[in-house]
Amino acid sequence: MIFGLTISAAPIDNESKDPKKGGDLKTEIKEYINHHLKDSHSFSLTSWVDQETGDKVYLEIPLPVILYDNGFHVFMSSSLKHGKKAVESNGNYYKLNYHDSKIYKTNRDGVLNYDSDHHPLNETPLDFSITKNVATIMLVAILMFLLFSGLAKSFAKNKGISKGLGRFFEPIILYIRDEIAIPNIGEKKYKNYMSFLLTVFFFVWFLNMLGLTPLGVNVTGNIAVTFSLALLTFIITNFTANKSYWGHIFWMPGVPVLIKIVLAPIELLGVFIKPFSLLIRLYANIQAGHIVLYSLIGLMFIFKGYVGSSLSFSLAFFISIIEILVALLQAYIFTMLSALYFGFAVAEEDH
């Protein structure tokens, strides 16, 4: 381990290279993209094949693995050797299945049993590990706390004038307040939602930007994360909604009774469709961006020529620039729609 980095070697899985099983370069690139899109127990920076030993060498930042199986088992993810070795902990043996990034309980030899669909049948312990998505969320949370607490202190010391990094973030905060919160929620009640709107905007934005770094994180491309964010919007919207909001859903004023009976289930369904559209939009856009970018990079290794590889590199670079814009745009859209739903919930009867 060097400055938190771990260099580990593991034998190459020859089965994945078997032409009879479709283990060609295209399949390898596809598996690499699928593995990147999933969460993992370490930050894998790069890998190469040792010409002398023939082993695959990984340069990574290991993370703690925390399992509960008749007691807690804690060890570093580097011990798993990318699924090539079983780890012993208090008399039990655990092995990582590289294809689904899950840890299974095995015997001393690390044998995994599979069903007809090649799904592991081994017992899975409760996994409380600090995965790379969890570590990234914690990093962003700490970064936001330090950044904006410092910004608040600079405002207090300098009589409302920002200082340092605050000069960059202050216009963004004012834009969210003046162009998103106030127009959609209203002057009277926008302050009740500003803390959530600011948090979700910078949280999504920072996570999206980290997804473009060599760390290879895909937090907002994880549907569990976008589901949690959309669930918060759903809870806040419905728990702060006034009588007028629920009245327009179950018994719309000024509408014939028969039409009310027909529209009420549709309006109620819309209560759940709105947050669902939030989570799918963010998840799908970030997921698609990562797939396209990594596919273009993979084409460089398939073409293996100056023309094809240069074109793939140029397209990948261009898409990377676009992804920087998409990272900000998706944070903006999520915040804008959340503010819009909050505005619907607290709108007065005369609106």
Largest CA distance in the chain: 81
The domains of the chain are located at 6-130, 134-346
How far apart are alpha carbons 151 and 138 in whole angstroms?
20
**Cβ proximity of 168 and 175 under 8 Å:** no
Mean pLDDT per 10-residue interval, the chain, length 351 residues: 58 48 70 80 78 76 90 88 85 85 87 84 90 93 91 79 78 93 92 94 95 86 93 94 84 79 86 92 91 87 81 88 93 95 82 48
- Provide the pLDDT for residue 169: 87
> How many other β-carbons are positioned within 10 Å of the β-carbon of residue 78?
21
Residue 5: per-residue pLDDT = 64
Spatial neighbors of 242 by CB under 8 A, at least 6 apart, are 345, 346, 347, 348
Q: Quick one: pLDDT at residue 298?
A: 86
Position 14 scores a pLDDT of: 47
